[in-house]
Structure 1
Amino acid sequence: MLNWIKRLTAVSAVAVLAACGGGSEDRNIVQTAQADPRFSTLVEAVAAADLVPTLSGPGPFTVFAPTNDAFAALLAELGVTKEQLLANPALLTQVLTYHVVPGQVLSSQVPVGVPITTVQGDTFTVNSNLVITDQRARTARIVQTDVAATNGVIHAIDRVILPSP
């Protein structure tokens, strides 16, 4: 009887989440990022670069998504304001598409130590400790993996990675 009640409770919870649109499996990459407050700056940047239609499309895509703290550190590093960064859609497009890999690459499928080609065209590598090294020898740690979306997957990172100059 107790197992039956546990199963009924689990099924009910899933039904409530589905009815409310609560699961990320019902959202594309942009909607999933919008639902997570850690990615509000990323969402603003994606909108400013006019990448919402692309990242809402069928994909699949893998997005290495910088958190708000990662963007704050980049702004300090560059000595610019968020408004100044968002006012440069060409630069945003270069940087943001460097964070996107075609196809869905779950954490268990990330090739360790092998250059990964991004949508932007440059590569980065990931080591066995889930640390990314970009084209400028800067590093970012993957802090959360495998956030599912209908058109791919998001891996949260703690630093904005940059393509070659």
Structure 2
Amino acid sequence: MAWLQWITPRVRMGLLASDGGGGDAQPSAAWLQAALASAGLQAPAGVCSGLTLLAPTDDALRQADFELPQHDRTALQAWLLRHLTLDEVRTAPVLAMLDGQLLHRESAAGAVWLDATGQRLRMLGAPLLQQGIQVQVADRVLRPLHATLWDRIQATPGLHRLTEALASTGLSAWLGCEGPFTVFAPSDAGLERAAARLGMNPAALWSDRDALTALLSRHLVSGRWPSHVMPWGTSLRTLSGETLACNAFGRLVSGDLRLPLAPGSDRSCRNGVLHRLDEVLLPPSD
């Protein structure tokens, strides 16, 4: 990760220690100066000023059993990468961390965020701009992503029929691979309506492995596509080889329907992103 050595500017750590005076104390993250030095993250001031580092407090590090001397440079760089984002912490509804993890703001104007497992992370105090990098102290450490897309789909309520269909067609194997992939997961109810939308008998669709594989393959695309970087106004190429149109209004074209991403979308996994849909994706109607 040598590229981190020039995207992360030097940080003056005196501003991150707790205030010993009578004013409001800035939560302490005094570990950061030593961590950046050990990781070799030194660069001229002002480089890549859009970066924000979510810096866990000293107490959060102790609770996570994180011991700086026990980490080699590569491991430490990967750990820091997990806490860096190019998104605007004060206004963005979703933060895409540089390791691919997505954090979701719990409420519209709140300081609490949810990670991929639903655990809360709270921003503490005001962000500090120091030589080109914004440092935002947080109350806990971000853990690495372990669940694959296949793990996540199996564990998600409302995706039981999709789980069965992916397993029966063999497409589940793709979702356990390194990827990355983005999956647009139709709900159980949407899959139940799929046969009628295709003009098929439900029993015929579910017993026709080729037809079911073709249908589900339209819901898989290569790459990691959280909603805020989706190519709205253009299209994506699906695993089926077909084009999935993404219109300029944030909708996916499915036959004669225009589908928004449903609640529960933007779930980050080790090998990609999981979105939710209320209906299946069909080729555009003529």
Q: TM-score range by the shorter chain?
A: 0.7 to 0.9
- Structure 2: how far apart are the matches of 1:91 and 1:57? 23
Q: Is the 8 A contact 2:181 2:271 kept in 1?
A: yes
The TM-score, its normalising length taken from structure 2, stands at 0.47
Q: Is the 8 A contact 2:233 2:249 kept in 1?
A: no
Partner of 1:113: 233
Partner of 1:80: 201
Q: Residues 21-47 of structure 1, C-alpha deviation per residue, up to 9 Å, x if partnerless?
A: x93832111110110121111111101
- Structure 2: how far apart are the matches of 1:55 and 1:39? 14
More helix by share: 1
- Structure 2: how far apart are the matches of 1:76 and 1:94? 16
Aligned residue pairs: how many?
155
Question: Structure 1 residue 75: deviation in Å?
Answer: 3.7
- Structure with the bigger RCO (C-alpha within 8 Å, sep 6+) is 1
Partner of 1:18: none
Q: Is the 8 A contact 2:185 2:219 kept in 1?
A: yes
Question: Structure 1 residue 84: deviation in Å?
Answer: 3.6
**Match status 1:68 vs 2:188:** yes
| Identical positions, percent | 28
Q: Is the 8 A contact 2:183 2:273 kept in 1?
A: yes
- Structure 2: how far apart are the matches of 1:128 and 1:34? 32
Letter of the structure 2 residue corresponding to residue 138 of structure 1: L
Structure 1, unaligned runs of 5 or more: 14-21
Partner of 2:259: 140
Partner of 2:158: 38
Q: Is the 8 A contact 2:252 2:259 kept in 1?
A: yes
Q: Is the 8 A contact 1:122 1:164 kept in 2?
A: no
Structure 2, unaligned runs of 5 or more: 1-26, 29-56, 65-115, 119-144
> Which range moves more in the overlay, 59-68 or 125-134?
125-134
Q: Is the 8 A contact 1:112 1:128 kept in 2?
A: yes
Partner of 2:117: 23
